[in-house]
Structure 1
């Protein structure tokens, strides 16, 4: 009986403290979002790497930063000394299409991947939006080092000469929904070069899905491929290893002017994250925008952080990073979205809600939600 009375007294005191405001009635855990962020092992993802590797830069300069829990895996995200999100980084080696698949399955909240995989996935009904830019350009066409060509024009001549001899040139790409796939088909079309993905079909070029980029060095060195189109740092790795040589970078790929300053990787967020994890998502996107600013001011941050996260040589990164244009500008992104849709529609990739659409405003409303981006830009500019 005495024990029951003591529990009653303690309960009464706790209730009194609660209503007096001495105990926070809202658990801090309830306010902290769990953000699962998927990324690719690519230099295009350098904003994420820099934010993780230089937390003091962002803590002291901006008040928004990551605190490491487990290296390259889990972090706490703070803004103004308040924990706003527990962040888990998920490395995806297959490509952006895999990231979008995970997002469609509810396993990823934010993806850092190319525009075409996002466009394709949204077309197919994935509840997500492109919410912020990351970078532009940053890919290249690389040919075997023993091919007698030093630039794109000479490689085009080589392809046509091989065709006249009855030899089909084989070009590898990362994935059928990658921007690299869209660009190589566009380039071949511009040069009047026929292509196929069927090894038994007659064409000047056979396009081969490498299912990522990990196998490209081996496929080139064993003569199973004549060329690849790849994102950084793979082109520089192939060049420095002596396996290949870059003949054209993505901003110059035909048709002339089409891919100059082309958006490549972007931040994509699930509708669930936009609706239910908004504060944490906003802080994360703000940190990425600030990281982009720091990279633009000092590319060495991206060189060092990318080398650390990807395990690449500094020499590779010193050649790779200058080929990538990190940006927080959305002008080209808003313009290129409908262009991507149109090109992919012509190539037969659009079969869902974007198929046949030509109205720019309608396309952009399906692809984008820049509400958080605009708030962030107002705060950091």
Structure 2
């Protein structure tokens, strides 16, 4: 066959393939891939799964668990997931770096804490100087909260040995003496306290009352190409959030089964979390200023850069 004809055939094949890919991505997906963390904060997702809420709306979902928010953000940036439950700072930081995602709902406020080893002699934030403190990951909300409270007490973060650690491993690491303290999300704060080897030095509500915590994010292309799926997802998210507020004991059991944690720990842990589906835009914009002060973002962001609340129903 003539080489010119082969070249033309090859070009046509590429065009057809590209057109097919375009059409595929522009169509509603058969399966929505949702990222989340191993956390009480993301109870709305666990409730929706346990109660079959997605199925009732005709949505097929696949969930992927991540160790911390920054890891989840890398996954959504590379299109491994469509929607994510994640902390506000990782979401905002990624948006500032050009990752095309938006906050489409809130998940919770507060819900983290600083825990120190019982008998360690650490009684104040100032006592953390020179100590080893575990965080989930640099850029996580707990990392930012720790830096905030250190600054409030005139402590340079460089004077604290801050290490990254998987949150579920923190209580045992504290018990074994491998770390002096940790800042984490629930239920691991309450777990260390109720197991008897940790004291809560400070809850995140004491660092910043009603602070934004986790939010729901989605890729811009997913929102624009699948508005009906996004509407149905958010309907489920709001329904599940309201269910948590009305049925906390039952939800504690659902979380317990999901995370493999004691029910009594979950009941106590949930008292330190404020579940909501409506984001406080003003408080999240305060986080933008804080992240810029810390040096995690380099430019100012507007609400239009961060939020897409078109499809969020009234809670």
Q: 1:329 aligns with which of 266, 278, 295?
A: 278
Alignment partner of 1:158 is 2:127: yes
Matches within 5 A, 1:1-381: 33-55=30-52, 65-66=53-54, 77-79=55-57, 83=58, 85-92=59-66, 94-149=67-122, 154-156=123-125, 158-159=127-128, 168-196=130-158, 203=159, 205-210=160-165, 212-253=166-207, 259-330=208-279, 332=280, 334-351=281-298, 355=299, 357=300, 363-373=302-312, 376-377=313-314
Aligned length: 289
CA-based RMSD of the aligned residues comes to 1.7
Which has the higher Rg, Structure 1 or Structure 2? 1
CA distance, structure 1, for counterparts of residue 88 and residue 141 of structure 2: 7
CA displacement at 1:261 relative to structure 2: 0.8
Alpha-carbon contact 2:115-2:198 (below 8 Å) kept: yes
- Describe the SS at the equivalent of 1:113: strand
CA distance, structure 2, for counterparts of residue 31 and residue 231 of structure 1: 34
Alpha-carbon contact 2:126-2:153 (below 8 Å) kept: no
Structure 1 unaligned runs (5+)?
Answer: 1-29, 56-64, 67-76, 197-202, 254-258
Q: Which has the higher contact order (CA 8 A, sep 6+)?
A: 2
Question: Relative to 1, partners in 2 of residues 1:157 and 1:114: Cα closer, same or farther, differing over 3 Å?
Answer: closer
TM-score (norm 2): 0.87
CA distance, structure 1, for counterparts of residue 253 and residue 234 of structure 2: 22
- Describe the SS at the equivalent of 2:60: strand
CA distance, structure 1, for counterparts of residue 268 and residue 231 of structure 2: 32
Structure 2 unaligned runs (5+)?
Answer: 1-26
**Deviation sequence 1:72-104 (CA, Å, 0-9, x none):** xxxxx333xxx3x32111111x21111111111
Q: Which runs of 4+ in 1 moved over 4 A?
A: none
CA displacement at 1:125 relative to structure 2: 1.2
